[in-house]
Amino acid sequence: MSKNYRAELVGVFGDPVDDNPTGVMEESAFEYCGLNYRYLTLRVTPDDLGDAVRAIRAFHMKGINLTMPHKINVIPKLDGISEAAQIIGAVNTVVVKEDNSLYGENTDGKGFVQALNNRGISLAGKKLLILGAGGAARAVSVECALAGAEKITILNRTEDKATELAGVINNNTPAKAEGYHWTPGYRIPEETDILVNATSIGFSPDINGKPDIDYDSIHAGMTVVDVVFYPCETLFLKEAAKRGAETVNGLGMLACQGALNFTLWTGVPAPLEVMEEQLRKEFI
Ligand code: NDP
């Protein structure tokens, strides 16, 4: 009888990467599904990214996640990327196809849309206000536009990034987008259906930080979402909940993107609840 002592490999390239929690989430899903896969958390410096990408093939890996600072620079090293990743301009997941080609996808924004859908919230026809215009904001706003959002307003401290992102959405999706400078104490327009904090404000250790908006302009009809996943319940979400808004934390988005990656690599439906529960345990 021949035995298999070799595990299928996936993982993440980043720098810094030591505190990236994705591995424990993916490994919990592999174990639950009885799959002989390992997730490697690998520190890769920008100078070594080319060698690391070549190692994906050399080690016969199934795929890899990319985190800071590699999400953009990896693109020219791949054989192809999805249309959404092209519009976003960043890749967070690589899948090794049957023909050994490296295909890039971006599941950050898809995870956001999925997390809302799992709560029974559709993006179709919705008006969104997004705080921030960095990598997370790009992925979230493009995927919401592709999922049918009607209007997306982007506010950012650095105005150029907000207007540039609005242009990307207007040129590549059916949604209407506008980008503005974020003025302190900004009043959220009454018409807003979904308000998103897509900045890093509030992320541990900045647990007393919250986006500078007029919280009394949040009303009960709004859904308020934070991409920050640690702490799970940020001050931003607590303030929104006090005003009666429905709140959605960043943990669901993180688990949903992890679940999408799991299925892209293994072809197996992901045990989302197991993955979310594992993350929750990590963040206690
Ligand atoms: P970036 O560095 O690309 O962007 C940061 C954004 O936050 C920019 O728009 C920046 O504005 C804004 N910002 C930061 N500090 C302030 C401040 N004090 N006042 C006003 N604006 C500020 O980071 P990412 O977009 O990659 O990540 C943002 C957050 O999203 C992180 O906390 C990350 O952990 C989280 N994230 C969560 C995911 C999930 O699955 N839940 C997935 C991916 C990211 P400016 O342009 O002016 O600098």
Nearest atom within ligand 1 for CA of residue 68: 26
Mean pLDDT of 64-88: 97
Distance of CA 216 to the CA centre of its chain: 28
Maximum CA extent, the chain: 69
Nearest atom within ligand 1 for CA of residue 108: 42
Which of 3, 62, 71, 97 is an active site residue?
A: 71
62 included as an active-site residue: no
Joined together, the tokens standing for residue 234 give: 């940020």
Span from the CA of 203 to the centroid of ligand 1 (angstroms): 9
Is residue 135 predicted with pLDDT exceeding 80?
yes
pLDDT of 1 reads: 67
Span from the CA of 32 to the centroid of ligand 1 (angstroms): 32
Mean pLDDT of 199-210: 94
In which region does residue 3 sit, left (phi positive, over 0), alpha (psi from -120 to 50) or beta (all else)?
beta
CB 118 within 8 A of CB 152: no
Q: Whose CA is nearest to atom 39 of ligand 1?
A: 254
Nearest atom within ligand 1 for CA of residue 254: 40
In this prediction the pTM is 0.95
Q: What is the chain's mean pLDDT, rounded?
A: 97
Residue pLDDT, tens place only, 49-65: 999 999 999 999 999 99
